[in-house]
Every structure is written in structure tokens, then in C-alpha cells.
């Protein structure tokens, strides 16, 4: 038997390709031939997978010689619009990395890095490496001096026929993830829903990016209008009514003599985003229900209602269905808001964490006008942290690291202390039908001790199963 591993675009082992020979007339020569076949075929499989999964990114093909650059390159890298690495053919690029004397790095360490940190080009140079240019002009130089031939492929349009073209995600939605499967489902659903006037409830843990998704949905509309965000948990209960509905002059003691337009009316013609809707007082829920049902709002102290037309997006980290059972949230309002639900995965379950780190670091670079680079140990610490605070915690950690970095190099000493604290990971929903540790052991045994098979069976991420197993030692 002769086998070669096949990695996905993010560096996880996804398959093994094996050739079993029934007989070998010349054992050593036959084995070498089989090894060459499985290794080259695995490389082609990784390239085909990269091309399929990164149609919205640039792809840079690399080879030591020009003969097979456009058909069978040594390696390929996917790059987003800012020039950061979002994926690669890990088997092939690993060999090139060794040629570049980058032996202390795993291929995953390159995810999120700017292409200019690896080669002497940036994203604006990619068009000059496209097919049709002479091979002699398609040369790039690695930072250690190694020269390679390069071929760039621009983000592709849909390969389907014109009768049923695959819709291209709006840029604002596409920028929310770097290939995580759960997020791709959310993005695809959000793109379809954004074209319809349908109330959407966004569920997710605190800090998981609910408002980012709401803004992306709003910005995806053809005529979006205004985006008005209301944090129902942040406004004091005695003020939320006047803030939402507004008031007429002299409505109450201390009111502005000119009156005030409420946030609902400010959002008319656009989007009203009600964040943490689960914290809205019951008394106001009935008034909000009337707004949604009648498309009109009545300011405090007013005798007549005013017409409004708006899209309503709401969000909560709470289980609203459970609040309905407890009598703390109106059932009729719940069904009015919950025409469609989008559930954001927590950061600890996302497979594109390396990409997210690169994106957030890129934003910090633009704000500060300085380039930053994570060393291997700092990146490993960020990738292994459980992130109970999700994207908000990650963003804050990177801002601290950037401020403490020396010459733009981020080392573990630059990271906040809590990143290294040994603490229980943030609670994750227990997998369906696995309510205790004994049940988890039995379920795993029934799947032949295959974690991936158990994750697929339960409909959860593999990392969720691994965390449960880790607690069991």
C-alpha cells in the first residue's frame, strides 16, 4: 500500500488517497511509481477543491518551472480582496515553504497573512500574472530569494448557464466569513432574504456579530434607506418608550418643548434593528406589535398615529421560545419577528478563525497606518483560545496586541493575559441525544470512535465533540 494525505483549504486532513498493488514485479521501482502517482493526484485534488471553494477570491498558482504552471502547478494560494491568504493547497505549498527555508511554520500559519509578507508582491500586482502574459514576465520572488513562476486567476463568475445563474453574494455579506460552512449557510440565506420584506430574527451568543450581519443584510438591499439600531437592553426602561415611539411637545415633564421623533419613525423607509429584543419590557411589546401589524406609530401624547414603512431585523442571545413559555415574551410578537431565523455560530466553532484574525488585523493596520505580523506562538495561542467573548473579545485582544507590539511584530507577550488563563470553555449546546458523558461515550463507540462521523450524526461541529472529549480526558 502507498498513500498520500489530502488536506482541505484550511489545512485540516480531509482524506487519504491509497494505491494497493496486488503484485510488484520490481518492488522498489513499483513503490516509487505508486508514491509519485498518489502524491501528484492528491495535489491535483487539493487544487480542484481550492478552485471550487474560492470562486470569489484570487487564486495564485506557483511552480518551480513554467511548463505545467497553468495546468498542474506545484501549489496554489487563495487571496481575498485585501491580499490576505484565505486558503491553499497545503501539501504542495508545504514543499515550497521548505524550499523557502520556512521550516518552523506549518502551512496553517500562513492563513490570514498578507501575500506581501511571503512574496515581493501585493494584491494590486496580481493582474500582471494572469494567463496570456509571457512566462518570463510571470516571476515572483520569495522573501528568502527563491524565484517561482506564478499564474493568477481572478475571482470567477458563476460557471452555470445563463438560464439559472448562481447568485453572487453581495460583497458586504461575502466579507463576513472566510469559508466556514455554517457561516456560508447563513450568508446564502441572508442574501436571499435581503431581497424580501421579511422580518428576520438573528440568534447568537453575545459578541458573535449579530449587528454586523444585520447591517450587511440592510446594505444588500437595492434601496436600503436608513439603518437605525436600538439596543433594547441598554436603554433604561423608563426611557425606552419615548426613545422608540417619540413624543409630542409637552407630553411629559422635562420633555423637549419641540417634541422628538422616535427611532421607529427615524427608520421609516429603511431598517429598524432591535438588538437584544428579549430584554424589551412586556408593556412595550404590545405597542411594538401594533407598529408591525398596522405600519403606523403613535408618539407619546399624540392623538393620531403616523404611517411608517420599514424592515424589521431583531437579535437576541436569549432563547426567545423559552421566554415565551415563561410568559416573559409575547407569543404573537415572537411569531411576528420570527418569520425567518438566522443562527450565527460561536467563534470557537468556526473553522475560519485564522482568516478572521487576518481580517481584523488588517482593519487595525488601516486605522493605525502600521503593518503587524503575528509570530508562530502568538498565532497558536489565538487559535487555541475558546473565545467566550467571540468576535468582540478577539477584536479587543488584537488591538491590545497591536498597541504592545515591537516594530509591528506580535509575540505572546503582547497578548492579554486572559488568553493564556486556564478556564472552562464557554458553554456550548449539548449535542442532540447526548445528554451526559456516558451517552457521549456510547454514541462515539457506535460511530466506530470516529469523531467526524459522530459530529455529522449529531449535526454539530467536530470541535464541539473534541471539547466534550477533552473534559473526559
Average pLDDT over residues 396-403: 95
Q: Is residue 123 part of a domain?
A: yes
CATH number of residue 411's parent domain: 1.10.8.60
- 462-471 and 451-458 helices, crossing angle to 10°: 110
Q: What is the mean pLDDT of the chain?
A: 83
Q: What is the pLDDT of residue 183?
A: 92
Q: Is the domain of 208 the same as that of 69?
A: no
Domain that holds residue 467: 437-471
Cell of 70: 497553468
pLDDT at 215 (0 to 100): 95
| 289 falls within a domain | yes
Residues linked to residue 297 through DSSP beta bridges, in sequence order = 306
pTM: 0.57
Q: How many CB atoms lie within 10 A of CB 47?
A: 22
pLDDT at residue 291, rounded to an integer: 87
Are 341 and 203 within 8 A, CB to CB? yes
Q: Retrieve residue 327's grid coordinates.
A: 410568559
Q: What is the DSSP code (8-state) at residue 235?
A: S
Tell which of 281, 310, 343 closes a domain.
Answer: 343
Final residue in a domain of this structure, among 310, 343, 376: 343
Write down the H helix ranges in 4-159: 27-53, 90-99
Give residue-wise pLDDT tens across range 434-456. Answer: 545 677 777 777 776 777 667 76
User: Would residue 158 count as lying in a domain?
Assistant: no
Highest mean predicted confidence (pLDDT) among 32-41, 207-216, 287-296: 207-216
- Please tell me what DSSP assigns to residue 387: -
pLDDT over 90 at 398, yes or no? yes
Q: Which pLDDT score is estimated for 156?
A: 67
Q: Which residues are registered as beta bridge partners of 410?
A: 374
The answer to the question of residue 186 being in a domain is: yes
Examine the pLDDT at 430 and tell me if it is beyond 60. Answer: no
131-140, 285-294, 298-307, range with the lowest pLDDT: 131-140
Mode of pairing for the β-strands spanning 139-141 and 147-153: antiparallel
Task: Decide if pLDDT at 284 tops 80.
Answer: yes
- Give the residue among 364, 356, 369, 429 at the shortest CA–CA distance from 402: 364
Same domain for 192 and 60: no
User: Exposed (0-12), middle (13-18) or buried (19+): which is 25, by Cβ within 10 Å?
Assistant: exposed
pLDDT tens digit sequence for 351-382? 889 899 999 999 999 999 888 989 989 998 99
Whether residue 110 is contained in a domain is answered as yes
Residue 209 has a CB neighbour count (10 Å cut-off) of 24
Residue 22 within any structural domain of the chain = yes
Amino acid at each position: 500500500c502507498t498513500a498520500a494525505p489530502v488536506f482541505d483549504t484550511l489545512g485540516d486532513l480531509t482524506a487519504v488517497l491509497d494505491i494497493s498493488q496486488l503484485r510488484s514485479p520490481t518492488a522498489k521501482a513499483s513503490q516509487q511509481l505508486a508514491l509519485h502517482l498518489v502524491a501528484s493526484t492528491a495535489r491535483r485534488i487539493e487544487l480542484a477543491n481550492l478552485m471550487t471553494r474560492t470562486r470569489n477570491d484570487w487564486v495564485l498558482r506557483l511552480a518551480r518551472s513554467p511548463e505545467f504552471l497553468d495546468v498542474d502547478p506545484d501549489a496554489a494560494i487563495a487571496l481575498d480582496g485585501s491580499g490576505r491568504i484565505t486558503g491553499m493547497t497545503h501539501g504542495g505549498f508545504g514543499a515550497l515553504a521548505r524550499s523557502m527555508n520556512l521550516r518552523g511554520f506549518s502551512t496553517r500559519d500562513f492563513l490570514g497573512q498578507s501575500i506581501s509578507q511571503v512574496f515581493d508582491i501585493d494584491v494590486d500586482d496580481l493582474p500582471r500574472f494572469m494567463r496570456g502574459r509571457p512566462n518570463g514576465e510571470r516571476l515572483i520572488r520569495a522573501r528568502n530569494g527563491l524565484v517561482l513562476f506564478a499564474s493568477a486567476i481572478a475571482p470567477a463568475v458563476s460557471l452555470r448557464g445563463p438560464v439559472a445563474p448562481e447568485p453572487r453574494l453581495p460583497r458586504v455579506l461575502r466579507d463576513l466569513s472566510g469559508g466556514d460552512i455554517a457561516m456560508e449557510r447563513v450568508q446564502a440565506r441572508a442574501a436571499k432574504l435581503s431581497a424580501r420584506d421579511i422580518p428576520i430574527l438573528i440568534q447568537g451568543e453575545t459578541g458573535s456579530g449579530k449587528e454586523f450581519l444585520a447591517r450587511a443584510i440592510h446594505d444588500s438591499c437595492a434601496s436600503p434607506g436608513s439603518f437605525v439600531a436600538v439596543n433594547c437592553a441598554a436603554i433604561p426602561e423608563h426611557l425606552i418608550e419615548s426613545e422608540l415611539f417619540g413624543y409630542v411637545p409637552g407630553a411629559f415633564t422635562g420633555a423637549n418643548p419641540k417634541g422628538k421623533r422616535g427611532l421607529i419613525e427615524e427608520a421609516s423607509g429603511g431598517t429598524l434593528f432591535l438588538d437584544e429584543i428579549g430584554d424589551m419590557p412586556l408593556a412595550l411589546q404590545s405597542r411594538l406589535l401594533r407598529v408591525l401589524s398596522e405600519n403606523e406609530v403613535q408618539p407619546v401624547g399624540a392623538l393620531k398615529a403616523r404611517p411608517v414603512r420599514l424592515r424589521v431585523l431583531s437579535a437576541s442571545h436569549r432563547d426567545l421560545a423559552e421566554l415565551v413559555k415563561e410568559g416573559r415574551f409575547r407569543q404573537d410578537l415572537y411569531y411576528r419577528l420570527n418569520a425567518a431565523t438566522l443562527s450565527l455560530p460561536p467563534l470557537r466553532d468556526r473553522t475560519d478563525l485564522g482568516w478572521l484574525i487576518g481580517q481584523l488585523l488588517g482593519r487595525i493596520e488601516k486605522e493605525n497606518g502600521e503593518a503587524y505580523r503575528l509570530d508562530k506562538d502568538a498565532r497558536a495561542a489565538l487559535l487555541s483560545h475558546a473565545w467566550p467573548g467571540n468576535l468582540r473579545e478577539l477584536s479587543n485582544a488584537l488591538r491590545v496586541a497591536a498597541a504592545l507590539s515591537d516594530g509591528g511584530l506580535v509575540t505572546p507577550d503582547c497578548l492579554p493575559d486572559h488568553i493564556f488563563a486556564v478556564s472552562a470553555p464557554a458553554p456550548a449546546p449539548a449535542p442532540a441525544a447526548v445528554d451526559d458523558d456516558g451517552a457521549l461515550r456510547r454514541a462515539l463507540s457506535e460511530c466506530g470512535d470516529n469523531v467526524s462521523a459522530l459530529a455529522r450524526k449529531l449535526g454539530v461541529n467536530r470541535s464541539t465533540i473534541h471539547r466534550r472529549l477533552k473534559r473526559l480526558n
